[in-house]
């Protein structure tokens, strides 16, 4: 078996295995890292001088940010080349082109044409097809655990035991669960009223409960 046939067989087997595994587990494993909500959307905004300092610092570091952006783009390209899917695709393209062109070419010319065919095969055929296949894979629904350390709202006033209803955003929807004010806030005599801003500190998804800390008054 020559190198072109071997590359074709190895790359083809790898692509088939990756496609089968990816489609089988896309609904349960892929995207797990993005299951939680970005707490940045709920974080505290800087106030007063801190906000001005942040604005000046951002403007002063624009050139550095641009340089980091370009460096990140190069890093992303290099990482994409190291992706198993890309490597398998290049192997298939290399082997397929080499086998097809072998009756007409040989030596260095054949090698160059096979390398060019590998790039064209991956960019023009496999990459678009891969995106098309996985565009139908559903993202797993975010559970209550995804709200950990994010901000929530008190849906009701808390009772003397430091418990009340809390409204939490889960997977783009507002879900209410039983919230318990953490011991430190209760020891300080904090009273939570409807609309107050809270932070989710612990989550018990099985019982739809969470422990929260007091952040501040909500809009009245």
Structural domains in the chain, CATH included, are 3-134 (no CATH), 144-216 (2.40.50.140)
Three-state DSSP at 83 gives: coil
Instruction: Find, among 141, 143, 142, 147, the residue nearest to 202 by Cα.
Output: 147
Q: What string of pLDDT tens digits covers the 220 residues of the chain?
A: 789 999 989 988 988 887 777 655 544 444 444 444 444 433 333 344 434 443 444 344 444 444 444 444 444 444 444 478 888 888 999 999 999 999 999 999 999 999 999 999 988 998 888 777 766 555 555 677 777 788 899 999 999 999 999 999 887 788 899 999 999 899 999 999 999 999 999 988 888 899 999 998 865 4
Three-state DSSP at 193 gives: coil
Instruction: Find, among 179, 176, 189, 188, the residue nearest to 212 by Cα.
Output: 179
Are 152 and 44 within 8 A, CB to CB? no
Contacts of 219 (CB under 8 A, 6+ apart): 195
């Amino acid at each position: 078996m020559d190198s072109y046939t071997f590359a074709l067989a190895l790359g083809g087997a790898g692509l088939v295995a990756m496609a089968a595994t990816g489609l089988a587990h896309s609904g349960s494993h892929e995207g797990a890292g993005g299951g939680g909500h970005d707490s940045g959307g709920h974080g505290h905004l800087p106030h007063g001088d801190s906000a001005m300092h942040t604005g000046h610092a951002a403007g002063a570091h624009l050139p550095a940010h641009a340089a980091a952006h370009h460096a990140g783009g190069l890093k992303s390209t290099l990482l994409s080349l190291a992706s198993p899917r890309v490597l398998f695709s290049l192997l298939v393209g290399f082997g397929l082109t080499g086998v097809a062109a072998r009756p007409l070419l040989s030596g260095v010319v054949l090698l160059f044409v096979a390398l060019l065919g590998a790039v064209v095969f991956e960019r023009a055929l496999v990459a678009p097809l891969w995106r098309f296949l996985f565009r139908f894979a559903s993202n797993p629904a975010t559970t209550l655990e995804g709200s950990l350390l994010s901000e929530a709202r008190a849906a009701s006033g808390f009772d003397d035991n430091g418990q009340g209803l809390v409204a939490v955003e889960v997977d783009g929807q507002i879900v209410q669960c039983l919230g318990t004010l953490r011991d430190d806030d209760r020891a300080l005599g904090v009273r939570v009223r409807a609309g107050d801003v809270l932070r989710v500190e612990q989550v018990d998804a099985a019982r739809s409960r969470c422990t929260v800390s007091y952040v501040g008054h909500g809009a009245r």
